[in-house]
Structure 1
C-alpha cells in the first residue's frame, strides 16, 4: 500500500479526497492536514462534513496536523493537495523540496513550463516532464497538476476529435454551484438566476486545453495550436458541469464518425479510470447533470446531442465537477504516478 497525505483535508474538495481514498485498494491515508485552527482536533470535529456519504470511520478520529512537511510521517510516498491556490503556491514547494511527490488540484502553476498538467487518458506521457522539473528546481519530489473542472470535462472529447484536424473550439459552460466551494455562491445570488461570469475560468479553459493537447518533445511541452474561446456561467445545479461545445475541424466527419470517435477513445488501466471514458447519448436532450453526473462512479465524461452547424460540429458534454473535475482527477494522477514508478 502507498502511504498518502491529504493537504487541506477539511475543505469541500478535501472531503471528496477522503471519500475516494478511504476504501482505496492502493492508498492508505497516513496524514490529514489543515489550517492551524483545525490542527490538533480529531477529523470529525475539524471538518464540517458535507459529502453525500457518511464520514469514513477510518479517519473519523484521526488527528489533523499542520500543513507542514515536518508534521507528516516520513513514510508518506504521495501527497494530495486541495489547498486554495493562494496557500498552495507557498506550501506545495516546501513538500516537493522535502522529497514528496504532490498530486495537486490547486490552480497555481498549471501553466508553468516544467509542471506536468495531466489527464491520464489524454496525456500520461507528460509525466516525463518531471525529470525536467527536478533538474530545474533541484527537487527530490515533484509537483503534478490536474486541470480545472470545466477544462477536464471538455478536453477528453476534444482529444477524441484530434484526428479530424482540430482547428477552433468555442464552448459555453453551465457550471454547478459546488464548483465555487460551499460558501462561494449564496442562495440569494443563484436561485432564480444564472451568473454569466466566473472569475478566471475562461482563461483557464482557453490555456489549459492547449497544454493538455500538446506534445512533450523531451524538454518542453509544445502546446496544441487549436484556438479555444470560452464563456463560463454559474447555474443553479448542485454538481455536474454541462458544456455546449462547437468544434471546427479541417476534415468533414459525419455525426456517426463523431460518436464512433467518442466511444472508441481509450481509457487507462487504473483503479479509478472509467471504462468507457466517454459515454454517449443519442438523445438530443442528454447528458443532464441530475441524470448523468455519476456515470463511471463520477469519473466518466458524458457526451451527446451531436449535430452539424455552420460553426462546426456541436455537442454537449458533462462531468461531475468535484469527482472527475477535482479530487478524483488528482487521485487518478496519483495512481498513474504510482504505476509508472514516479514515487
Structure 2
C-alpha cells in the first residue's frame, strides 16, 4: 500500500467498520441497565444475576456484563467454559462467573485458573470438581443444579438421594447455590411451574444448606414464592418480553438497520428475486439492501423493513446477502443508496420479528451474524 493510499484511510477504526458494513446493529446499554433495575425492583431484597451466555444473547457479553457491573450486578452466568474464560479476561477478578453446562471432563484446571464457578449437573462432574479442589489445595466454588422436571440439565432425583447419603460428597466444594431451571415460566398458569417448585423444595432439602436459585426472566413474574435467594434473568435484560401474554414490561435494547445498496424501477410483469416467486403487478420502485440470511435473518422472519415510519414490504425471496424491498410508498428519491432502513427497532420489535418466523426472540437475537457494525450507546 503506498503512502497516498494510507493517507486516504479513516483513522477511526469504528468509522471504517461502519463505512464498510452492510448493516448496523445499535445496542442500548442504558436500556439494559434500566431493564436490570426494573427486574431488581420486582425482586425486592432478592439478589439478581445477569445471564450473558451466547455472547450476551448476540449483542456482546463483555459490553453487557460491564454495564451490569456498574448497576451492582456481581454474579454472571454463561453456558460454556470458553465463554467463562473470555468473560473473566474481560471483567477481571471479583465477579462470580458460573458455567451453566458444567466443566467438560479434563478442563477443570482451566476453570480453576480462570476462577470460575462450576455448575455441577451430574455425579461425574461432582467427583471431577472435588478432585480439582484436592489438586488446588483449597475449596472450589460451585452451584449444584438439580433436575426439578425439565429433563435437560441437573442431577436426577435418584442421584441427589445417593449423594445426600454420602457425608464426603461435597468435600472441597464451596456450595454457593442449589439451583434448578423452570421449563414453563412464560406460561404463568401452567401446572408444571408449581410442580417444579415443589420438586425443587424437596430436592434441595436433601443437600447441604445453601442459598437457592430457581427463577429465570419469566419466573421473576411468577411471584415471590419462586424468587428464593438469586434470580437469573437473561432474555428480559435484552428487551425480550418475559410475559408474552401481556405488554412487554422491558425496554427495547437493539436497533438493526441495513444499508440500501441500489434502487431501481421495474415494469409490470418483471420477475423479482430467486425463482421469480413474485411478479410486478404494475410499475414498482425497488430498493435492494445489503442484508440477508447470512446475517442471521431467517427467510420466514418478519417480511418488511421500515423507513421514517413507512412500511417497506419484502418482495421475492430473502437472498444470502440481500433483500429486495418495495419502496413505492415513499416519495420519489426519498430513499437513496447508503441510506439505512430499519429491520428491528421502534417500528418492529424482536418479538414481532420472531412471531413472523414462528420462533422466539431469543433465536432472532442470537442468530444475528458478525458482519454488522456494532454501535454501543448510553454505556
TM-score by length of 1: 0.30
TM-score by length of 2: 0.28
- Max Rg structure: 2
